Amino acid sequence: QVQLVESGGGLVQPGGSLRLSCVSTGFSLDYWIIGWFRQAPGKEREGVSCTSHSGTNIYYADSVKGRFTISRDNGKSTVYLQMNSLKPEDTGVYFCAASKFGTVQSMCATPILTSWGQGTQVTVSS
């Protein structure tokens, strides 16, 4: 069974940084596209960043380009999301997801046949 567990969320002031982790249990990440998504209260889920199985192809939403960095360590079955220069509008529940289908662009836009973690809360506030 595919299971993903996110961690690293918390409360941070504007301009601060957080690093989220997504760990897979029970399966290897080697052949999976992994994406980070977020959902703010009252808003639709948004694809933040997605990485191919090798990490060669990466997609970032325009809203996070230059501030967020996705990386993966397949040996540790972990994908990271480094978030810098955080803004209040980055607040939300952040989920990681895994899929073997599509591209990094399609994964972030319209994830299909995807396994999801339970999410971790990120709050950016002074």
**pLDDT tens-digit readout, 91-105:** 999 999 999 989 999
**pLDDT tens-digit readout, 50-85:** 999 999 999 999 999 999 999 999 999 999 999 999
Intra-chain end-to-end CA distance of the chain, in Å: 40
Residue 35's nearest CA partner among 98, 115, 124, 123 is 98
